[in-house]
Amino acid sequence: MQLSDRWASASLPHIVTAVKSRLRQVAFRRLAPHRISPQQYQLLMAIAEQGGRCQGDLARCTWMDKPTASRILRTLQDRGLIRAEADPTHGRRVLFRLQPAAEPLVEELQAYRRYIREGIERGFTPEEKRQIRVFMGVVMANLDRMDAESGGSPDGTEE
């Protein structure tokens, strides 16, 4: 695959930022008819994949800090899409589950998930996809190391 001059000379941080920004633009546009933000989508789908997850787990698996995850979970609760319930095995933990009203939305969002995954991976061979995952894993490990050096948490989320 040939890179344009613009991408060939850009710094890796610039490229990563540009890709993230463009992904958010596409996500906002595609999710707008569902009245849901990309971050709400991430948390809702994480709960749909595995109900009964706590806030900390949801923040980690979506790469959000806990205050952001908390705010978005409250919005999803207010919309009647998820419910919070006490964890029967842990006195202070709250678990989040889908409300029945969210199930049609989640089904529609599955189509978006397929669209975005297939669209982003279009034109890559299986080996290229594997290499991208390896490279992005190295980038994340480097960022985690850099964050830890400045006193951050190892997984990039706030404790």
Query: Among candidates 101, 134, 121, 115, which has minimal Cα distance to 31?
Result: 115
Residues 116 and 135 in one domain: no
Residue 42 lies in a domain: yes
Band (159; pLDDT cuts 50, 70, 90):
very low
Residues 40 and 88 in one domain: yes
Which residue is it, tokens 């994949």?
A: 49
Residue 91 belongs to domain spanning: 23-122
> E strand or H helix at 123, and its extent?
none
Residues 75 and 130 in one domain: no
Residues 98 and 130 in one domain: no
Cα dihedral 79→58→55→48 (10° resolution): 40
Say which amino acid occupies 56: G
The CATH number given to whatever domain includes residue 96 is 1.10.10.10
Band (156; pLDDT cuts 50, 70, 90):
low
Band (157; pLDDT cuts 50, 70, 90):
low
pLDDT digits (tens, 9 = 90+) for 91-129: 789 999 999 999 999 999 999 999 999 999 999 999 999
Q: Are 102 and 52 in contact (CB under 8 A)?
A: no
pLDDT digits (tens, 9 = 90+) for 13-56: 998 999 999 999 999 999 999 999 999 999 999 999 998 899 99
Residues 108 and 140 in one domain: no
Query: What pLDDT, on the 0 to 100 scale, is given for residue 42?
Result: 95
- Residues with Cβ < 8 Å from 53, sequence gap 6 or more? 46, 47, 61, 95, 96
Residues 115 and 136 in one domain: no
pTM of the full predicted structure? Answer: 0.81
Structural domain count of the chain = 2
Cα dihedral 147→149→155→158 (10° resolution): -70
Residue 33 lies in a domain: yes
Residue 1 lies in a domain: no
